[in-house]
Amino acid sequence: MNRLQRFQHLYAFFLYSLTSLSWVLRKDYLKFFHHRIGAHSYTHPRKEYFNLFFYKAIYYFFFIVLPLVLLDLSWWQVGLGFVIMHLIEGITLGLVFQLAHVVEGTNFPTPNAQGNMEDAWAVHQLRTTANFAPDSKLAAFLCGGLNRQIEHHLFPKICHVHYPALSVIVRHTAQEFGLPYLENKTFFIALQSHYRMLRKLGKDAFVPSTTVQPTVLPFPLIKLA
């Protein structure tokens, strides 16, 4: 696994494109039937089983069955269109969230010995999140404001059209308390930063295996019948 991670900066973007396909065909089912979230166990009400399979069936009908019935296309053309649609959606989702968290400057804190995060919740958001293309109206429109991920984390119930005004307050407050306010001015600057992070983390993850020397026992080995 470590050897493969050395090259993650080369194959990660292809894996991002599979995000949406995995979500619609696999992930929802795995999450639903996995009856634990961390240390917590849970069971779904019966109606949620109906909701999962009923609405999944509706989705498959509208996006796969209906095009096969109504369009003058062969099955492989419909299938190819379905896959391409999800590949584009997957790479878009993957990049939006990766450029907001896995870039240079962001922290990756771990819990202490008691299993607790030592930073306050808001401080944690500032240390682990970065904005990208904050002044781009196009990015704000296409991402629904998620390019200002800091404000999205701090104020998830406030409409993203207010994020530009909020960002001024958040930035000044962060400076007042000596906290980071991370952002990359353009999408491509953030993309380059993410690429460098993937390369660095992949290189750091690789630990060459060492030859294990045979252990010499201080007593003869007894063979059991």
List the chain pLDDT tens, one digit each, 225 residues. 577 888 899 999 999 999 999 999 999 999 899 888 777 888 889 999 999 999 999 999 999 999 999 999 999 999 999 999 999 999 999 999 999 999 999 999 988 888 888 899 999 999 999 999 999 999 999 999 999 999 999 999 999 999 999 999 999 999 999 999 999 999 999 999 999 999 998 887 776 655 455 544 444 444 433
Helix (H) or strand (E) holding 221: none
**Which pLDDT belongs to residue 213?**
52
**Which pLDDT belongs to residue 207?**
66
DSSP secondary structure letter of residue 214: P
CB 124 within 8 A of CB 109: yes
**Which pLDDT belongs to residue 205?**
74
How do 182-184 and 40-41 pair as beta strands? unpaired
d(Cα 49, Cα 42) in Å, to the nearest integer?
14
**Which pLDDT belongs to residue 214?**
53
Beta-bridge partner residues of 130: 182
How do 36-37 and 182-184 pair as beta strands? unpaired
Q: Which of 85, 104, 196, 99 is nearest to 143 (CA)?
A: 99
**Which pLDDT belongs to residue 115?**
81
In this prediction the pTM is: 0.81
**Which pLDDT belongs to residue 139?**
94
**Which pLDDT belongs to residue 49?**
93
Tokens linked to 41: 């166990």
**Which pLDDT belongs to residue 42?**
81
